[in-house]
Structure 1
Amino acid sequence: MKDYKRVLWIMILAIMISSVSGCTKTTSVGGLSNTKNVEKVENSELSITVEGDMYPLKVKDFLKKETILENKPEKVAVLSGTPLNIWYDLGGKSVCTSDVSDNVKLIPEYEEEIRSLPTIGPVYSIDMESVIPHKPDLIIAQVGTQSTQAKKLREMGFNVITTHIRGYDDVVSTYKAFGKILEREELAETKIKELEKHKEEIISKLPEENKSVVILYITSKTLAVKLDNSIAGDISKILRLKNIASDLPPDTIGSETTPLDIEYIVDKNPDYILVTSMISSNEEAVKAIEEEFATNPVWNGVKAIQEGRVIHLPQEYFLYNAGPYYHQAIEYMARSIYPEVYGEVNKQDEK
């Protein structure tokens, strides 16, 4: 009995110690964490991690699927634009990719090469039969639009990792992971430090005042509102803007949108209306939202619209994660909200 009590007390003490240590761990908050804090973020909160200092490496992706890479992959198929951009920024190559939209902001020195890659169809509907003949020893797919194909390719025996690059912290963790896979860790750290430097320079100039926003999302068929887990939502948090939809429930579990409620927007009276889009072009998106405002009288109650405080966010920054150019997306929104601090938006910066 004494031995039993001794063991019981040891177990209770161990649980208490682990609980205390768990509360002291540093986690990332929004997009404001610096590169030092990134190392302390729990692996479960990162979109992708790589274990090991040299090959073989164990990759755990966003879906928590583990892939063992015995050797550095020589033939890689990166199936969507944002990871492709980061991959090439670290010196990687791809044997094929999905159709690259004109609104993806590509790295200039690799743009011609990327656009000449064999294509496997639209990013949201890739043709697996076009991937297989390339015999890649690693496939990098995108969560959501390519999850089903990624699962099938994994079942066929391919090494597949899925990426989820929505916000700043996702960009950082992807650079770290790709840096290890490509054996370019020092270059990856340099890229991360450059991003962090630009981000902190912008944050350091933020006014004390707090502005509120609502982020509208328009497609060819629907109009919804973006939540904090979207690109625009993440950048709004970085700039300490209050997204009035932050506490609203998503359409579905994990979704980055919530249904449109104009009366709610009128009641909350946001300082600015931010507009993101998934339409054929930025120009068409502007026309579509202006037509919506003009034909639906309910919008007359939104002061930001009546007073001209509507900001159109370009697709190359806010539909597709800009990856290497994420700091430019942050600066674009900062200039749009606080032109007196950062200067007017330079349209030449857009693609």
Structure 2
Amino acid sequence: MRVVSICPSNTEIVAYLGKTDVLVGVDNFSDWPKEVEELPKLGPDLSIDMDKVAELKPDLILASLSVPGMEKNIAALKERGLPHIILNPNSLDEIARDIQTVGEALGDPDLGEDKANTFRSQIARYRTRAQRRQTTPRLYWEWWPKPIFTPGKANWLTEISQLAGACNIFATEDVANFQTTWDQVKKRDPDHVCMVWVGVKEEKMRPELVKKRPGWNEMKAIKTGNIHVMEESLYCRPSPRLLEGLQKLDKILGS
């Protein structure tokens, strides 16, 4: 079977299933696991080169709507009549269902179900552990600095926060992505600032500039030095690797 993935989270689901050998091409941002680095690159996930995709003669293309703007990829796939499925998870349960969906699409539904159940079991263990936490740290997740975007209630990072025994300060907003302001963040006064700028490597993020935002030196997170530069690849992609991110968050919070 010849499979193309045009989104990093889809590539990571294939890897979670142990099926990277079926991949014949991926988007430019698919960087995990290491073996996919050698595959043909088909362009950034928001502007896939469909001519290159068609040249690979795939049996299946794993498409996505996880980032605004990916709709044009779907339109191009439909226009060309290329075989594809679309994944668009916002919650951990939806990621589990997508693991099953991809397993079925790759011709191994039993594997998909088994790996999805493993994923759910890991989540259940963290949920039990979170219930034993004595305090509930309040987290501000910064997805983009200017304008500020942060995950809302309908996003996996709200669940990841809860599974670490914490809470997302913008879980009050019933959307997946919420545009906010420096002032609103300051008013909500988080215990921790988690920097996970989408598409930006950790070494390029500047926490010292975040600390200089007007009035932020009065926030608990800044006073206590709890500002964390974190791997966007472990928190910004709806894939099973979120559990690796959860494990790291758990250590940061001292669970």
Q: Above 0.5 in TM-score?
A: yes
SS of residue paired to 2:26 = coil
Q: CA deviation at 1:214?
A: 1.9
| Distance in 2 separating the partners of 1:159 and 1:279 | 28
Picking from 270, 273, 280, the partner of 2:193 is: 273
| Distance in 2 separating the partners of 1:134 and 1:269 | 51
| Distance in 2 separating the partners of 1:211 and 1:282 | 23
Give 5+ residue unaligned stretches, structure 1. 1-73, 342-351
Cα deviation per residue 1:191-221 (whole Å; 9 max; x = unaligned)? 22332333233232221433322222235x5
* Alignment match, 1:189: 113
Structure 1 residue 136 and structure 2 residue 58: aligned? yes
Q: How many residues align?
A: 249
| Distance in 1 separating the partners of 2:38 and 2:32 | 15
Structure 1 counterpart of 2:120, one-letter code: E
> Which runs of structure 2 are paired with 1:304-343 in the superposition (5 Å)?
304-321=221-238, 323-337=239-253, 339=254, 341=255
| Distance in 2 separating the partners of 1:279 and 1:171 | 20
> Which runs of structure 2 are paired with 1:60-209 in the superposition (5 Å)?
74-90=1-17, 91=19, 93-100=22-29, 104-106=31-33, 111-112=34-35, 114-143=36-65, 144-206=68-130, 207-209=133-135
Q: CA deviation at 1:240?
A: 4.5
Contact 1:89–1:324 (CA under 8 A) maintained in structure 2: yes
| Distance in 2 separating the partners of 1:300 and 1:217 | 20
Q: CA deviation at 1:177?
A: 0.6
Contact 2:6–2:64 (CA under 8 A) maintained in structure 1: yes
Contact 2:96–2:120 (CA under 8 A) maintained in structure 1: no
The runs of at least 4 aligned residues of structure 1 exceeding 4 Å deviation read: none
Give 5+ residue unaligned stretches, structure 2. none
Q: CA deviation at 1:235?
A: 0.8
Structure 2 counterpart of 1:213, one-letter code: L
Cα deviation per residue 1:319-346 (whole Å; 9 max; x = unaligned)? 233x233322221112212x1x3xxxxx
Contact 1:248–1:258 (CA under 8 A) maintained in structure 2: no
Go from structure 1 to structure 2 and tell me whether the alpha carbon gap of 1:84 and 1:175 turns closer, same or farther (over 3 Å shift): same
Q: CA deviation at 1:163?
A: 1.1
- Please, what TM-score do these two structures have when normalized by structure 2? 0.85
Q: CA deviation at 1:185?
A: 2.3
| Distance in 1 separating the partners of 2:179 and 2:174 | 6
SS of residue paired to 2:140 = strand
| Distance in 1 separating the partners of 2:204 and 2:53 | 33
SS of residue paired to 1:324 = coil
* Alignment match, 1:242: 167
Structure 1 counterpart of 2:208, one-letter code: E
Contact 2:142–2:149 (CA under 8 A) maintained in structure 1: yes
Contact 2:153–2:172 (CA under 8 A) maintained in structure 1: no
Cα deviation per residue 1:130-166 (whole Å; 9 max; x = unaligned)? 1122222322212134321211221222222211244
Structure 2 counterpart of 1:333, one-letter code: L
Cα deviation per residue 1:248-274 (whole Å; 9 max; x = unaligned)? 375xxxx513222x3333333222222
SS of residue paired to 2:215 = helix
Picking from 146, 155, 158, the partner of 1:233 is: 158
SS of residue paired to 1:162 = strand
Equivalent pairs: percent with the same residue? 19
Contact 2:200–2:232 (CA under 8 A) maintained in structure 1: no
Contact 1:274–1:312 (CA under 8 A) maintained in structure 2: yes
| Distance in 2 separating the partners of 1:180 and 1:115 | 25
* Alignment match, 2:179: 258
Alignment RMSD (CA, Å): 2.4
Go from structure 1 to structure 2 and tell me whether the alpha carbon gap of 1:145 and 1:170 turns closer, same or farther (over 3 Å shift): farther
Structure 2 counterpart of 1:94, one-letter code: L
Contact 1:141–1:147 (CA under 8 A) maintained in structure 2: no
Structure 1 counterpart of 2:220, one-letter code: K
- Please, what TM-score do these two structures have when normalized by structure 1? 0.64
SS of residue paired to 2:197 = strand
